[in-house]
Chain A
Amino acid sequence: MARDPKHDILFEPIKIGPKTMKNRFYQVPHCNGFGSEKPFSQAYFRALKAEGGFAGVATEYCSISPESDDTHRMSARIWDDGDIKNLSLMCDMLHERDALAACELWYGGPHAPNMESRCVARGPSQIPSDFEFLTYAIEADKDDIRYLQNLYVEAAKRARTAGFDIIYVYGSHSYLPQQFLTPFYNHRTDEYGGSFENRARFWRETIEMVKEAVGDDCAICVRMSTDMFLGEAGTQLKRDCLPFVELVDHLVDVWDINLSGIAEWGEDATPSRFYPQGRALPWQAAVKAISKKPVLGVGRWTNPDMMADAIREGKLDIIATCRPSTSDPFLPKKIDEGRLDDIRECIGCNVCISRWEIGGPPLICTQNATAGEEYRRGWHPERFTKASNSDNDVLVVGAGPAGMECAMILGKRGMRRVHLVEAQDDMGGTMRWIPQLPGLGEWARIVNYRKIQIDKLKNVEFIPSMKLSAKDVAEYGAEIVVVATGSYWATDGLNGASHAPIPGADASLAWQATPDQIMGEGKQLQGDNIVIFDNDGYFMGVSLAEKLAEEGKKVTLMTPMGHVASYMHFTLEAPNQHRRLHKLGVEIVPYHLPTRVEQGAVVAAHVYDEDGHEKSFAADGVVWVAQRRSNEALFRELKDSIGLEQLKAEGVDALYRIGDCEAPRLTADAVFSGHRLAREIDSPDPSIPLPFKRERRMVDDASVAMEKAEYAAMYAGATAS
């Protein structure tokens, strides 16, 4: 198919300083867990976006000095020649695919915990980080300031050597240059604090120096947050940012404009729960209105009409994406080819970001199971090899996220026939009703994308409203059977805190319920006072609290944990979710575990109170968001009652299970599980994941000899004291 002419504007080249981007699609800096320590994973991950049509692709934040070490979180680093070498692989692979490479030079100041380097960072004022515990910076004197600025210059030169085309002087998310600009961080009274000119001085000088050093060869990009939502103390658009644009516009080749500080950077990487696509556009347009240079900006862009409008209306020049480019690295190509219904749209769940926040693990994506697996598992999101056992027919039982993904990928791998059989009248499983929770509408894309794809696959047939017994499965006629029957919420209060049911908990009673019953079956609890017991720790408890409170209930949200929805801190949803719950009058009771439940009251005790003092909480109704259990009855019956031998006699050569049916997990991991099985359906034992490539230093005889010799030499002249 051909590109819609109204999207042509997205494919016009644009000049940025000494470089030219071939179109308007750009991947802004975003973390992936690879940094410069896993160069192949890094390079393959970024290069795939270039293959998918992105004209510019950036690193994640790239530390310019051991003083800015974000361990436990994973940044890139450009500290020495080794880092140059490792990051140059990414540059080469991007250039081979006709894309520009960008490097985001980063210095964290008081936010850098330096847990690996054990250095101390320098910053504008000595106030501990609002993002990281127990982390202080040296209050920089003039020499320190020169030292810091020189770090940027030297790092910029190293980045140029590595092959980067675009060099960032990165301020957004409350990092060093913007700390100087912001009264919240900058309490100085010298020429680097106070007035706008003084607060802007550090950043302006640094940009000048970097421009002087590499500006002839590289485009200079400045990433600025245009509102930190901190009131007077934060950076503000009119007071600080627009004047700053006027001040340095002549030095800058491209502006990267976004929102937020670091402590609540969910205002930038907006969860779909709270913000629509293109949320920052008014701020981006304000900069665009006064700058003579191209402006790029994020907005969780997945809709090409909105992208084209933003450019046509003069609000942006370049469409920048992080999450949508991870969810679908081929977003530009699919728009170019007019294949809009093939776009795997980001759902804005921020599970990708959660992995960075946790610190360490590679990113994952709910929509794109191949994200982060490009190198280590060799998975390409758009290309599939024909399975060597593709002459088999496959029955997938259960069309939730895992079953849909598995059937879709098996279809793409050319299996002869795939039957996706579902007891309900449509696809989705629990993901049919999860998007009906407050704010989660975009999560429906998980089901919609797969439904459209499955509909296009001639070898995959969806069969609704068919509940198969174990005997039906055995006699179905498939050589390969995949059970994907999902999970259910425990009805007896069984939970991971006490590892026991809760006395009195029984969701078969009219006044108690589980999420499945409320959302899937429409069960309604009578009375005003509802206690929700949440030991899940993610979206379910708080979403039900919000829903029931909106319906007029007086909701108490009780958890044995220290926070409700702890995982939402990692997905950046926590601050606004807390605001919502607070506004709705939801009472939050942390550190409490129910000891027994009776109609009218939940009796609970503080988890650290060894004297067992109990408190009673009024409860006309109780909701158990306690834990999930696999729906494994069908699998057990097939494996244990019928048995693999008998299945074989019926022609079933292989029996697998995937997703929550194995063990309940994040949707991203359930989808991954279905994808993994399909990718490896022709491996020697598909039930066991194939090993993935690990990027690590390998010990060999030469390196052992060398290290031992160095160690011995180091202490050759030293004496014990």
Chain B
Amino acid sequence: MRIVVCIKQVLVLGDEVEFQDDGLDVDPDYLDSALNEWDSFATEEALQLRERLGGEVVLVTCGARESEAALRRCLAMGADRAIRVEATGRDPFTVARALAEVVRAESPDLVFCGVQSSDAVQAATGTVLAELLGLPRAAVVTRVGYDEDARKVVVDRELEGGLLDRVEVDTPAVLTIQTGINEPRYANLRAIKQAEQVEVDVRSAADDGMPAYRVRRMFVPERGEGAEMIDGSPAEIAGRIAAIVKERLG
């Protein structure tokens, strides 16, 4: 059983934010970084499967050298190997393309991603990756059961309104893992120290594709006039919303 977990070192905003002079990004002085919260759950889920079934957990991230901190955090939790794809693009298409090549070469039984990253919050990379790899995928997974004989996973997907969808998926497959699926373990200092000694396998990515988007300008939106709270039955609320939309569209 080989599980590849795709993780991300996310950027964390401080209390105050300033933009770069070119207006294209946040000034790095106002940014901190951390392992994406979802990815610690994805790693934990992979580790638990490995503990049950044997095999290995391989971490892959895409980013500059600093993003190895996230890899080492997950290595300290117990992952076996780590690969960093040297790439600067941060949009889901570019990242997924960079990941796809490395993931494919690992011939995994399962690929885990977090549902989304806390900085970009687009929830797209996992799905794009599945598409590029030609694998089935299930998103927002809150339970993973593995049927060894059938080589299938049975997963619960979280839907809107508190609904759960239980589906069977052939493997290999890409699952995007939701927070709360487990309790990610803490690494003790010894494991952290050992993880520091692990050599991270660095690959380069030749990317010639189009990004999902380009940043033209970053700015703080102007303050609106405030919100209108709409009370009433669903039909009344819908009616009022329709009226507002019509009014605003002229």
Q: Which residue numbers of A lie inside 8 Å of B, CB to CB?
A: 1, 393, 395, 417, 419, 458, 461, 463, 465-466, 472, 475-478, 651
Contacts and interface: CB of A to CB of B under 8 A. Distances in A.
Given A1-B15, A1-B16, A476 B189 contact: yes
B192 A475 contact: no
Contact of B189 (A1, A417, A458, A466): A417
28 contacts: A1-B15, A1-B16, A393-B189, A393-B193, A395-B189, A417-B189, A417-B192, A419-B188, A419-B189, A458-B32, A461-B186, A463-B186, A465-B183, A466-B186, A472-B188, A475-B188, A475-B190, A476-B188, A476-B189, A476-B190, A477-B188, A477-B189, A477-B190, A477-B191, A477-B192, A477-B193, A478-B189, A651-B190
Contacts of B16: 1
A546 B193 CA distance: 51
Interface in B171-225: 183, 186, 188-193
A651 B32 CA distance: 32
A458 B12 CA distance: 13
Nearest to A341: B15
Contacts of A393: 189, 193
Contacts of B186: 461, 463, 466
B: contact size bracket: 10 to 19
A592 to B, nearest CB: 50
Contacts of B183: 465
A382 B192 CA distance: 30
Interface in B12-41: 15-16, 32
A458 B34 CA distance: 10
B183 to A, nearest CB: 8
A478 B187 CA distance: 12
Nearest to B190: A477
A651 B192 CA distance: 14
Nearest to A393: B189
Contacts of B191: 477
B23 to A, nearest CB: 22
Contacts of B190: 475-477, 651
10 nearest A-B residue pairs (beta carbon): A477-B190, A477-B189, A463-B186, A476-B188, A393-B189, A478-B189, A477-B188, A476-B189, A477-B193, A419-B189
A334 to B, nearest CB: 14
Contacts of A651: 190
B15 to A, nearest CB: 7
Nearest to B16: A1
A717 to B, nearest CB: 78
A458 B190 CA distance: 18
Contacts of A477: 188-193
Nearest to A473: B188
A647 to B, nearest CB: 13
B28 to A, nearest CB: 16
Contacts of B32: 458
Q: Which of B15, B16, B186, B191 has the most CB of A within 10 A?
A: B186
Contacts of A395: 189
Given A476-B189, A476-B190, 18 more contacts: A1-B16, A393-B189, A393-B193, A395-B189, A417-B189, A419-B188, A419-B189, A463-B186, A465-B183, A472-B188, A475-B188, A475-B190, A476-B188, A477-B188, A477-B189, A477-B191, A478-B189, A651-B190
Contacts of A1: 15-16
A518 to B, nearest CB: 29
A665 B183 CA distance: 36
A651 B194 CA distance: 14
A419 B193 CA distance: 13
Nearest to A395: B189
A393 B32 CA distance: 22
B188 to A, nearest CB: 5
Contacts of B188: 419, 472, 475-477
A465 to B, nearest CB: 8
- Centre residue among B15, B189, B193 by max chain A CB count within 10 A: B189
Contacts of A419: 188-189
A417 B192 CA distance: 10
The winner among B16, B32, B186, B188 for most chain A CB atoms within 10 A is B188
A395 B189 CA distance: 8
Contacts of A475: 188, 190
Interface string B98-124: 000000000000000000000000000
A648 to B, nearest CB: 15
Contacts of A478: 189
A417 B16 CA distance: 26
A1 B17 CA distance: 11
Nearest to B189: A477
A461 B183 CA distance: 17
A603 B15 CA distance: 61
Contacts of A463: 186
A144 to B, nearest CB: 62
Contacts of B189: 393, 395, 417, 419, 476-478
A458 B183 CA distance: 22
A419 B192 CA distance: 11
A164 B224 CA distance: 54
Nearest to B32: A458
A505 to B, nearest CB: 39
B58 to A, nearest CB: 24
Nearest to A421: B186
